[in-house]
Each structure stands twice: as structure tokens, then as C-alpha cells.
């Protein structure tokens, strides 16, 4: 009988984890009034208030003073004077345009797990891992946060306490773009027009964000007859460029300090459900990729995170007619020389895609459809497939009556993952009583698992609120999958499930 062991290890949201973010005041006239009010204060009062801000907030943030001075520089154009200001007054004005944001105030869920790049100084047989999570705060804005932990040979899981501070990292202010690839994506998004063509024609084969924005501004100045529709297209060009950027974190920072917070218009309302995978190239190099969903408030845009060390991240758009909807999951290596990825373009079935280019996807093949009662509404992946001797182990989620999300398991053929070798007819896990309550009740969900010491280590979210871990003996799970076969019909033996 297959046993699913719930570990009782929980990762819960912590509203005390905050970072500083820009505060938008509103129209330019209002921002100017705010600045003017603070300029009227006597210098002694400005100094006292700046000291008070430091006393109240320095202990909650790292490098707050430097950030407030940079924030002042951003709002300096609203000053009605050129006179030199003291640092205290600059800090006071910068603080008026800054806010604290509680990253995890609402939820911490949809985890994925990969081996940590650093496996030094560990007990024999232990594995250090990176756990990524979707954090939700004020305004239901999602960001990606991290925890690191250790799993031992006996299955004991330790989550290390998070760092004292949180930081959103430094973005590259002027990234480069390849013109040919950029034009291809503009076409897929329906953003090409005579006016957009005019802008792109004035750019070199490789161009920067500054150069692009300069040409957009030139086009708007050159022709005052720009229609609202044409202006919308030009703004779309800028938004696409801004969706491709880089983030850099200091090497001295702990992983749990690092926050990937929305940085572009495409992500304005969140970065959702990153599915991290340690991708190994044929020569042995490892890169960590994570397809995720960017949400602008109106549109969803599949994107890709890429990092070698969890210090420098490259964020790029995914391209091609098959890049749509949510739930993309990359296989951890090439298959027959091609990149392979799972998708759910129709919000119902699971598809397999191949490509020779990581960021472009043009074809798909349906490999799994909802079949059992507990997945009657839809099925999807719960992260990248895991390679085993028996084949690719895929953890799935199924949505059934009353929008109840359960976890399932499927085994795919190693050299041709379009071939299904085994499929559990009943859920691998379904919400038990204490897992049913949360922001979205009756939901179990995961964005990625790993295998260590003969066990499947499966992090999972509970009702879009918090997260936990389950352990499953890998050999028993594979045996159960092969017993039931590709259609979920029992080949031999009893088959069964037991959870603790």
C-alpha cells in the first residue's frame, strides 16, 4: 500500500517581513504640493524628523538611508527651487514618497524545490535545497521569495529561519535587446504597425531600452497626429522591452533576503507560480530556470527566470503561438536534443511541446486529458517532471466538484514523454480537514518536487495560505503507477493509498 507521509513541517506567512517600495502620490501637481510642504519646515524640524524616521525604521531595513536619498533624486524634479538641501531634508522628502510593503501579509504558498548550488559542509547524505514560494501582500500583489533548508537521509526536513531583512535587488537600468527576436515577439502580440515599424527601423540590430524609448519619444514628437490606438501600440512596445530585465543581489546576502518583486508593467499585479528546475546541459553545466506568469491586471504573460547562482537573475519573455495561459513546466534536460516543456494552453488538458530555442515555442501535442472524477474540471502539472529509472515522474493537480484541488501522479516514457506508462486513478493527496481552510479553500497545489535518498520530497500549498511537505517512497510510487498502467486500470495486485 502506498503511504503518503505528511511531515508536519510548515512554512507560514510572516507579516513582519517587509521591504521598502516607492509610494505613488498621484498627479504631478499633488507631488509638487507634498514637496513644498516639506520645504517649508525649519531646518531643525527637518533634522528632527529625519532622525525620527531613522530611529523608527532603520532596524527593519538594510540600507534604508541610501534608498531614501535615491528616492529623493527621483522626485527632485518636483522641487520649486534649485537651492542646495541638507541630507536630512532629502531623506524626509524621499520618505514621503516611500512605503513599507509586507510581502507575506496575506499568503505564502505554491512552493517549488530544487537542490541548492552550494552543497558544502553538510552531514553525510544530506541535501541543501532552495524553496521558492509565491508571497502575497497588500493589493493581492504576488512576488517570489525564498527559503533554504536541509533534508537528511532519514527524511527529516529543516527549514532555516529567514534573514532579518528583505530586499528587492538592483535592476539593470539599461538592458540590451536583439532586434530580430524583439520584432518576432511584437508580431505575436499584435503590436506591429506602420508607426511601430518606423520606430524599429531606426534602431540597430542590438539596442538598449534607452535607445528604444528615445525613438518612441521621437516618433511622438515628429507627428502630432498620433491616434489613441497608435499611442497604445507604442506603449505596448515599451512595455515589452521593460518585461525583459536583470536583477542583481549582493553576494553577501542570504538567499531568504532576496525578493523578486514585480519590476515591469507586465508584472504590475504580480509574479505568480514560478516552477523552478535545475536544468542540466549535455556538457554538465546547470542553470536554474523557472517559467512563471506575469499579471498586468488585465493580461497574463508567460515569462522565464534564469539564474546560475540565485544572485543574478535574467527575466525574459517566452515567445511563440504556443506560449499562452499558465502552468508551463520545463523538463530538466534536453530530450533527443530538444528542449521539452509541459503546458496547458486550453486551461483543461496537459500538452507536450518541443523546441530548439528555449524562448520560442511553436508546436504542441496533447498527452493528458481529465479522466477521473477528481479531475473532471481540469488537470495541470505541479512542476517539472522528475527523471527516474522507470521514466518521467509527473505530479499533477486535478480540479473536481466544488473546485477541490487534489494532487495526482503520472509516469511518462523516458525517451518519448508523450507516451503515458502509468497513471493513478485516485488522488495521491487530497485536502484533509486542517488543509481545507484558507484564502482559497479545498486546494492542494505544488510547483515542483525533488527526489532524495529514495523519497519524493513534495512541498505543497494548503488552500492558497501556507505550505507544508509530504514524503513518499519513490519505489513504491513507481510500482503503484506501473500497476495501474496508462489508463488507470489495475494490471495486477490490489493497489491502494494510505496517508499519515
pLDDT (tens place) for every residue of the chain, 500 residues total? 799 999 999 999 999 999 999 998 878 889 899 999 999 999 999 999 999 999 999 999 999 999 999 999 999 988 888 889 999 999 999 999 999 999 999 999 999 999 999 999 999 999 999 999 999 999 999 999 999 999 999 999 999 999 999 999 888 878 888 899 899 889 888 899 999 999 999 999 999 999 999 999 998 888 778 888 998 899 889 988 988 899 999 888 899 999 999 988 889 899 999 999 999 999 999 999 999 999 888 878 899 999 999 999 999 999 888 988 889 999 999 999 999 999 999 999 999 999 999 999 999 999 999 999 999 999 999 999 999 999 999 999 999 999 999 999 999 999 999 999 999 999 999 999 999 999 999 999 999 999 999 999 999 999 999 999 999 999 999 999 999 999 878 755 445 555 55
Which CATH number is 135's domain given?
A: 2.115.10.20
Q: What is the pLDDT of residue 497?
A: 56
Looking up cell 505541479 gives 382
The last residue of a domain, from among 102, 126, 159? 102
Q: Closest Cα to residue 112, out of 310, 270, 346?
A: 310
> Are 404 and 374 in contact, with CB atoms under 8 Å apart?
yes
Half-sphere exposure of 373 (CA within 13 A, CB side): 4
Task: Please indicate, yes or no, whether residues 253 and 159 belong to a single structural domain of this protein.
Answer: yes
Q: What is the pLDDT of residue 175?
A: 85
Cell of 359: 524562448
Q: By residue range, what is the domain housing residue 200?
A: 176-242
What is the spatial distance between Cα 264 and Cα 499, in angstroms, rounded to a whole number?
43
Return the biggest CA–CA distance within the chain: 85
Q: What is the pLDDT of residue 467?
A: 98
Quick check: helix, strand or coil at residue 91? helix
What is the spatial distance between Cα 372 and Cα 427, in angstroms, rounded to a whole number?
9
Task: Please indicate, yes or no, whether residues 371 and 489 belong to a single structural domain of this protein.
Answer: yes
Task: Please indicate, yes or no, whether residues 89 and 235 belong to a single structural domain of this protein.
Answer: no
Task: Please indicate, yes or no, whether residues 384 and 237 belong to a single structural domain of this protein.
Answer: no
> Are 319 and 184 in contact, with CB atoms under 8 Å apart?
yes
Q: Per 3-state DSSP, what percentage of the chain is helix, strand, and coil (rounded to 5)?
A: 25, 35, 40
Q: Closest Cα to residue 431, out of 443, 439, 413?
A: 443
Quick check: helix, strand or coil at residue 455? strand
Q: What is the pLDDT of residue 498?
A: 56
What is the spatial distance between Cα 325 and Cα 273, in angstroms, rounded to a whole number?
12
What is the spatial distance between Cα 232 and Cα 211, in angstroms, rounded to a whole number?
19
Question: Is the model's pTM score more than 0.75?
Answer: yes
The last residue of a domain, from among 43, 68, 102? 102
Looking up cell 536541509 gives 150
Q: How far is CA 176 from the centre of its chain?
A: 22
Cell of 439: 484564502
> Are 122 and 156 in contact, with CB atoms under 8 Å apart?
no
Quick check: helix, strand or coil at residue 463? coil
> Are 454 and 388 in contact, with CB atoms under 8 Å apart?
no
Task: Please indicate, yes or no, whether residues 397 and 458 belong to a single structural domain of this protein.
Answer: yes
Task: Please indicate, yes or no, whether residues 25 and 152 belong to a single structural domain of this protein.
Answer: no
Task: Please indicate, yes or no, whether residues 261 and 387 belong to a single structural domain of this protein.
Answer: yes
Task: Please indicate, yes or no, whether residues 342 and 275 belong to a single structural domain of this protein.
Answer: yes
DSSP per-residue letters across 252-314: TS-GGGBEE---SGGGTTBEE----EEEE-TTS-EEEEEEEEEE-SS-EEEEEEEESSSSEEE
Task: Please indicate, yes or no, whether residues 95 and 110 belong to a single structural domain of this protein.
Answer: no
Looking up cell 505613488 gives 24
What is the spatial distance between Cα 287 and Cα 42, in angstroms, rounded to a whole number?
55
Domain count for the chain, please give it.
Answer: 3
The last residue of a domain, from among 102, 125, 141? 102
Cell of 196: 511601430
Q: How far is CA 218 from the centre of its chain?
A: 35
Q: What is the pLDDT of residue 192?
A: 93
Task: Please indicate, yes or no, whether residues 207 and 313 belong to a single structural domain of this protein.
Answer: no
Q: Closest Cα to residue 378, out of 356, 361, 396?
A: 396
Task: Please indicate, yes or no, whether residues 287 and 419 belong to a single structural domain of this protein.
Answer: yes
Task: Please indicate, yes or no, whether residues 75 and 121 belong to a single structural domain of this protein.
Answer: no
Amino acid at each position: 500500500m502506498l503511504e503518503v507521509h505528511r511531515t508536519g513541517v510548515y512554512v507560514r506567512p510572516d507579516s513582519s517581513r517587509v521591504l521598502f517600495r516607492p509610494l505613488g502620490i498621484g498627479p504631478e501637481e499633488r507631488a509638487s504640493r507634498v514637496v513644498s510642504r516639506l520645504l517649508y519646515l525649519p531646518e531643525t524640524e527637518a533634522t528632527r524628523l529625519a532622525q525620527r524616521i531613522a530611529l523608527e525604521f532603520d532596524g527593519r531595513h538594510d540600507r534604508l538611508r541610501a534608498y531614501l536619498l535615491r528616492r529623493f533624486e527621483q522626485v527632485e524634479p518636483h522641487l520649486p527651487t534649485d537651492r542646495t538641501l541638507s541630507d536630512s531634508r532629502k531623506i524626509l522628502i524621499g520618505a514621503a514618497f516611500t512605503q513599507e510593503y509586507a510581502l507575506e501579509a496575506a499568503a505564502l504558498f505554491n512552493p517549488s524545490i530544487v537542490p541548492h548550488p552550494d552543497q558544502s559542509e553538510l552531514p553525510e547524505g544530506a541535501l541543501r535545497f532552495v524553496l521558492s514560494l509565491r508571497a502575497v501582500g497588500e493589493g493581492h500583489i504576488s512576488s517570489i521569495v525564498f527559503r533554504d533548508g536541509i533534508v537528511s537521509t532519514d527524511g527529516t526536513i529543516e527549514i532555516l529561519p529567514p534573514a532579518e531583512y528583505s530586499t528587492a535587488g538592483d535592476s539593470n537600468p539599461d538592458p540590451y535587446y536583439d532586434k530580430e527576436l524583439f520584432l518576432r515577439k511584437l508580431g505575436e502580440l499584435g503590436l506591429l504597425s506602420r508607426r511601430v515599424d518606423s520606430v524599429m527601423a531606426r534602431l540597430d540590430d542590438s539596442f538598449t531600452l534607452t535607445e528604444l524609448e528615445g525613438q518612441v519619444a521621437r516618433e511622438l514628437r515628429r507627428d502630432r497626429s498620433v491616434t489613441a490606438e497608435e499611442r497604445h501600440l507604442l506603449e505596448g512596445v515599451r512595455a515589452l522591452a521593460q518585461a525583459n530585465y536583470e536583477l542583481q543581489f549582493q553576494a553577501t546576502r542570504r538567499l531568504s533576503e532576496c525578493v523578486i518583486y514585480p519590476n515591469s508593467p507586465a508584472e504590475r499585479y504580480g509574479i505568480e507560480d514560478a516552477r523552478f528546475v535545475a536544468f542540466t546541459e549535455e556538457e554538465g553545466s546547470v542553470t536554474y530556470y523557472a517559467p512563471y506568469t506575469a499579471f498586468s491586471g488585465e493580461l497574463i504573460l508567460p515569462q522565464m527566470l534564469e539564474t546560475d547562482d540565485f544572485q543574478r537573475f535574467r527575466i525574459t519573455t517566452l515567445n511563440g503561438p504556443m506560449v499562452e495561459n499558465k502552468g508551463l513546466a520545463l523538463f530538466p534536460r534536453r530530450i533527443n536534443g530538444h528542449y521539452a516543456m509541459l503546458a496547458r494552453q486550453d486551461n483543461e488538458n496537459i500538452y507536450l511541446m518541443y523546441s530548439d530555442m528555449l524562448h520560442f515555442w511553436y508546436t504542441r501535442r496533447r498527452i493528458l486529458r481529465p479522466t477521473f472524477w477528481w479531475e473532471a474540471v481540469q488537470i495541470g502539472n505541479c512542476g517539472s517532471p522528475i527523471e527516474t529509472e522507470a521514466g518521467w515522474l509527473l505530479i499533477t493537480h486535478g480540479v473536481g466538484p466544488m473546485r477541490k484541488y487534489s494532487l495526482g501522479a503520472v509516469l511518462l516514457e523516458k525517451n518519448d514523454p508523450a507516451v503515458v506508462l502509468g497513471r493513478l486513478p485516485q488522488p495521491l493527496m487530497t485536502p484533509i480537514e486542517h488543509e481545507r481552510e484558507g484564502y482559497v479553500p479545498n486546494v492542494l497545489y505544488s510547483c515542483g518536487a525533488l527526489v532524495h535518498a529514495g523519497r519524493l520530497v513534495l512541498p505543497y500549498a494548503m488552500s492558497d495560505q501556507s505550505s507544508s511537505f509530504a514524503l513518499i517512497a519513490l519505489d513504491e510510487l513507481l510500482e503503484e503507477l506501473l500497476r495501474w498502467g496508462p489508463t488507470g486500470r489495475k494490471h495486477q495486485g490490489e493497489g491502494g493509498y494510505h496517508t499519515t
